[in-house]
Structure 1
Amino acid sequence: MPLYDLPLAELETYRPDVPEPVDFDEFWARTLAEARTAEVDVRLARVDTGLTLVETYDVTFAGFGGHPVRGWLTRPAGQAGPLPAVVEYLGYGGGRGLPHERLAWASAGYVHLVMDTRGQGSAWGAGGDTPDPVGSGPAFPGFLTRGLADPAEHYYRRVFTDGVRAVDAVRTLEGVDPARVAVAGVSQGGGIALAVGGLVPDVAAVMPDVPFLCHIRRAVEITDARPYSEVSAYLAVHRWHVEQAFRTLSYIDGVAFARRAGAPALFSVALMDVTCPPSTVFAAYNHYGQPAGAADKDIVVYPFNGHEGGAAEQLGRQIRWLGARLGRAGEAADGPGRAGAVVPGR
C-alpha cells in the first residue's frame, strides 16, 4: 500500500476540530456511576500452565451492567509486591486466547491483566470467553454499528465501561500498587486504552498502538477497509441516518478522550495503514492532553508499515518507556521523559 494520507510534516501538526456532544462528560460520568453501583467482584482461579517463572490466574470481574468479563492475570512468580500493573485490551475480533500467549509484561516485572472483549474472540487468535448479553437494533455484521441509533445502546459504551472496570479490578488485587496501573492495546485495544485514559484520570500511563476509533468520521470517509467500512455499508442502506450515526459515534471517538487524558502516553502510527488511517491517529495524539497543557507524550512513526505497525519492535519500546516511568519489581521510576516528540521508526 503506498502512502495515501497527509504528508508526515502535515500530520505532525494535524489538529482537526472534531465535534463532540455537549453532554459527553455527563454521559460518561452517568455510565460509570451506574456501573460502579455493583461490586467489581473480582474472582481469581489459579491456572497450571506448566510455566515456573510466572503465576497465571483465570479472572472474572463485573463489567458494564454487572455482566461477567473474563481475562487472564499473569504476574512474576514469588514477587509479593506491591508491583506496577499493565491492563491490556485486544484487537478487533480477537479474544483473550490461551493463558501462556502473553508473557512479556510479567517477565518485565508487572502484574498483567489481558481483558477479553465481550462478544468477540472468533475472528483470529485462540478464542474468547465473554458473551455480550445485550442485543441491538439492525446492524451491519461486525460490532461498530451495533446500537448506532442511540449512544446509550452502542456496543462500545459497554466495552469502554468494561475497560474502566478492568482497571478498578486490578487495583483491588493484593500485591498491586494501585497508583501504578498502565493501560495498553493495539488497534481496537489502543482505542479502548485511549478511552480508559480519558475516563480514569489517575491511570499511570497510556500506550495506544495504531489506535482504532479515532476521528471516526474522517476514517469512514477515506478508507474502505473494515471495520470502518461497516459504517459506510450500514449507511448505504440506512440513507437518512447519517447525522444520527455520527452523533452516536462522537460519544466513543478517541479524540474526545485524548483531550481529557493527562497520563504519560506512548502512541504508535503506521503511515501505510489503511485500517486506522494515520491522520486519525495523529488527530488523537495532537489533541492528547489538551487543553490542560503539555503532556508527557511520544509517538513512534513506522513509515513503511501497515496496520501491523511496530509489532514486537513497539512492544520492546513500550517496556523500556514504561520502565523509565513506573519502574518494575524493586525498582524506582526515572521520571518523565521527552514531551511531544515524534520518534521515527527504525
Structure 2
Amino acid sequence: MIDVGIVGGSGYGAIELIRLLTHHQYVNIKYIFSHSKIDEPIKETFPHLSHLTHQYEALNSEQIDCDVVFFATPSNISKGLAPSLIERNIKVIDLSGDFRLGDRSVYKQFYGESAAPQEQLEKANYSIAEWSNIEQNHTQLVANPGCFPTATLLAIHPLVDQQIINNDSIIIDAKTGVSGAGRSLAQHVHYSEMNENFSAYAIGKHKHKPEIEQYISKLANENIKVVFTPHLVPMTRGILSTIYVKLNQHVTNEGLHAIFTEYYDDKPFVRIRDLGNYPKTKEVYGSNFCDIGIYVDEESQSAIIVSVIDNLVKGASGQAIQNLNLMYGWNENTGLTQTPVYP
C-alpha cells in the first residue's frame, strides 16, 4: 500500500483521480490539496463525495510525507513544486503541461510562460502508457500526456512506426467536450454560448500541437509537422479525433486493420473496432478505453483513423493511474477496470 497526495483537488482531473483511486487496492489517498479551499471538507464542494472524510489542505512541500504526488493543476504550477518533492524521493505524476515539452522555447511560445529548467525536463518521462519506457526502479517524474495527444497519438503511432504514410500529410480534426476547459469560468463555456453551438478554436496555437509533433518526430527520427484543428462541442465529456493521412504504399483495409490489431493485441485499454465499425464518444464514457476505427480509401491510397476517449479518464486521470501502475510494476489494469457508462 502506498500513500498519495493530489494537488489541485477541486478540479475535474482531481475528482476523477479520487473516484478511480478509491477503488485501487494498493493506494491510500492521504492528502487532497487546494489553496482556495483550505480546511473545507471535500463533501461541501462535491456532495457526491459525502462518504469521504477528507478535508482540503494547504500544500507545504517540506512537510508532505507520502510516496506519490499527482499534480492535477493548470500549467505553470507543478514546475515550481515538483523538484523539491523529487529531492525527497517522492514520485511525481504531472497532469499539467509543465514537463511535456523538451524544448523550453516551444513551451514559452505555446504556454506564454517560462519553462521548467532544462535539467528537470530531461528527467521527465513523457508517457503514453501503451508505449511507455517507464523504469520501475528509476522513474521519479512522469509527464502525463494531454487529452488530444492521447487520442491522436494512439491512432498515429502504428502508422508512423511502420513507415507506411507520408509524414508531411497528417491532418488531425479533433472534437472535445466542455469539461476539457476545467471548472474556471469563461465566456466560451457558458451554457448560452456553448449550447447548440459548434466551434473551432486555438487554430495553429493550441498547446497540444507541439506535444503531438514532438512525439511522432521522435518516433520517426525526423522533424514532423501536423495540421491540427480542435473543436468544442456541446457535451460534457469525450474526445473524438479523426486523422487523415496519405499512404506511401499499397495498403488494403484488411491490411491496415491487421497492423493495428497486432500493435494493440496486448494493450488492454485500446480496442480496435471491426472493419466498418467506427467508435462514438459515448461508448468509452467514464472509462480508460481508447476505441479506434479504421478506413482505407484504396483508390486514393489514403486512410482515415477515428479515435475516441473520455478526456477526463484516458485523457487525464485514468492514464495517470495507468502510469502509476507501471511505476510500481503492478498490473496495468489495477483500479481501472470500470465498464463505460452507457447511455
TM value normalised by structure 2? 0.32
TM value normalised by structure 1? 0.32
Larger Rg: 2
